[in-house]
Structure formats: C-alpha cells, structure tokens
Amino acid sequence: MPYLRTRPVIPSHVKDHLIRILGISKNPSTQKYVIMMQFANNGNLRNYLKKNYSIITWDRKLLILQYIAGGLKSLHALGLIHKNLHSNNILLHEEIPLIGDFGLCRPVDKFDEKEEIYGVLPYVAPEVLRTKVYTKESDIYSFAFIMWEMCTYLPPLCERSHDTNLVLEIFHGLRPKILEGTPRTFARFMKLCWDTNPSKRPTAEEVYNTLKYWQMEFSQKRPTECYTDFKAADDWKKKKLLNNPNIPCTNHHPNAYYKSRPLQLPDAIINDFTSNLNSHLENFARGEKVFTVKHFV
C-alpha cells in the first residue's frame, strides 16, 4: 500500500490541531485497507461556514484560522509540508478545527519527479503548477484561500471554469476579489500570503502569531485600530443580514471542481509562467521589501 510506505511519521506528542490517525485495518475478504481516524462531529470547514453563516463573528473566525495556522506551524517545524490544504480538508470537532488528509504530506526536502500535481486548483500555488515542487511557502499560499473563504463563505474562483485559461490568468496574478466587508488589515495580510513571489509570503509561525495577536486584540475589545477594523466588519455583516439572511449567491461554474484531482498542464502554459515569474523576480530584486510580521502587529 503506497500510502503506508510513504506517509511521514508525525510524533504522537504533536497533536495541535492535526487530525489523529488511530489505526489501520485490512478487510480479509477484499484485501482493502481501512484507516481509522479521529472523529470530527462538525464536518469540514466549508460546510461549517455554510451552517453557521448568520452567527459566526470575526472573533470566532480569527480563532479558527489561528488554530489552523498552529497546526500548519507544527507540521512545518517537523520539516513536513501538507501539499493539499483546502477547506474540505479542515475538519471540526465541536468548534475546534483539525487539519486532515495527510495522504500527500511529505518531508520538505523530498521530491519525486514522477509525482503528479494533485489538489484543488485555486489552492495550488502557481510555482507548484510550474515546477511540481511543493514548499512551506506553497502551503501558505493555500492557507490564504482558506482566509478568503472565511470572509466570503464561498469557494474561491467558483464562478470560473477550472481549466488552463484560468491557470494562465493565475500565473499573471489573478486572485479572488476582496469583497466588501473584509477587514482592511486582514485583506493586506491575505494578499501577502498569496503573493506570486514565494519569498514575500510569511512563514506559518508569522501567520500564527499575527492571527493570535488579532484575536487577542478583538476579544479584549480595546479601542485599537485592530479591534475597530474587525468590529466594523461584524457590524457591516449584521446590517446585511437584516436585508438578506442567506449566504451571498454567485454563479457556480459547472467546471469548477472542489475535490482533489490530478492537475496536468501543457508545456506552453508552463513556459509562459516561467517568463512571467522571471520578470517578477527581477522587479523584486530591484528593491521590493520582504514581508516582516511587525507590519501587522
């Protein structure tokens, strides 16, 4: 069974917001394996957001994101990358999020040229689509789209066909629109997390520390700029709910897919991105500043 041979071992003491694998069994009749995992009674994050749309506040959103970032921080500290982070792979037990689906999780220094790209297109970093090389920075890119989904309650780029045309636009900088009601500080940070240049993305530890700071500021209700920003977003949503208690609607394209699948790209698409990336890196080398967490806390 390839999964059993290749899955990295996560030490038993590392349990922070990572779904636990309890055991493995084999059906003697079918010879198929069954993996027994920790039960999560609130399902995945996407369904949780739909179910709790009218009641979830930014205090809760920041805590959920902080916990997810904490799990990612633990993985990265072990030298592991998740490679398939999206809202369907975040499970909730009671109100606590847990990162699941470690089927693609690998050590950061392990690369297999024969391994195909696999995932949900909007969450896959552009450099991964080009090189097939996953990094800690590509996990942060994926996390940015979970941040966007927490703001909008919608899967990212659901109005578009998930095809090579969309890939090409992503290579040229296309990202989901920042919708009205998104806190400004949050939006700026999210944009850094999904920046085309991996060097500009914060680390998992920086993401965790930033979200922890914001959540603490908001929960203490001190009249700081941070609290005012997130409180205004909650107030905006309350007013919107008075007119329409339902999740904002958008036209979901029939070819927008949100289950993990193989992603194969023509060489012409990859070559176009290589040219675009080289230009971007030249601009970066001419003086753009690398992210530091002090800009946000």
Can you give the pLDDT at residue 203? Answer: 98
Can you give the pLDDT at residue 250? Answer: 72
Can you give the pLDDT at residue 249? Answer: 67
Instruction: Report mean pLDDT in 10-residue bins for the chain, 297 residues.
Output: 48 63 83 79 92 94 97 93 94 91 69 75 93 93 98 94 91 93 96 97 98 93 90 94 77 90 71 58 49 42
Can you give the pLDDT at residue 206? Answer: 98
Give bridge partners of residue 262 from the DSSP assignment. Answer: 118
Can you give the pLDDT at residue 191? Answer: 98
For residue 258, what are its two tokens?
A: 């949100």
Separation of alpha carbons 192 and 117, rounded Å: 23
Residue partners of 290: CB distance under 8 A and separation at least 6:
199, 200
Residue 63 vs residues 157, 232, 245: alpha-carbon distances, Å = 25, 18, 23
Can you give the pLDDT at residue 145? Answer: 98
Can you give the pLDDT at residue 272? Answer: 58
Can you give the pLDDT at residue 34? Answer: 78
Which position has the token pair 């090189």?
131
pTM value surpassing 0.75:
yes
CB 167 within 8 A of CB 269: yes
For residue 257, what are its two tokens?
A: 């897919």
Three-state secondary structure readout of the chain: CHHHHHCCCCCCCCCCCECCEEEEEECCCCCCEEEEECCCCCCEHHHHHHHCCCCCCHHHHHHHHHHHHHHHHHHHHCCEECCCCCHHHEEEECCEEEECCCCCCEECCCCCCCCCCEECHHHCCHHHHHHCCCCHHHHHHHHHHHHHHHHHCCCCCCCCCCCHHHHHHHHCCCCCCCCCCCCHHHHHHHHHHCCCCHHHCCCHHHHHHHHHHHHHHHHHCCCCHHHHHHHHHHHHHHHHHHHCCCCCCCCCCCCCCCCCEECCCCHHHHHHHHHHHHHHHHHHHCCCCCCCHHHCC
Can you give the pLDDT at residue 193? Answer: 98
Residue partners of 77: CB distance under 8 A and separation at least 6:
none
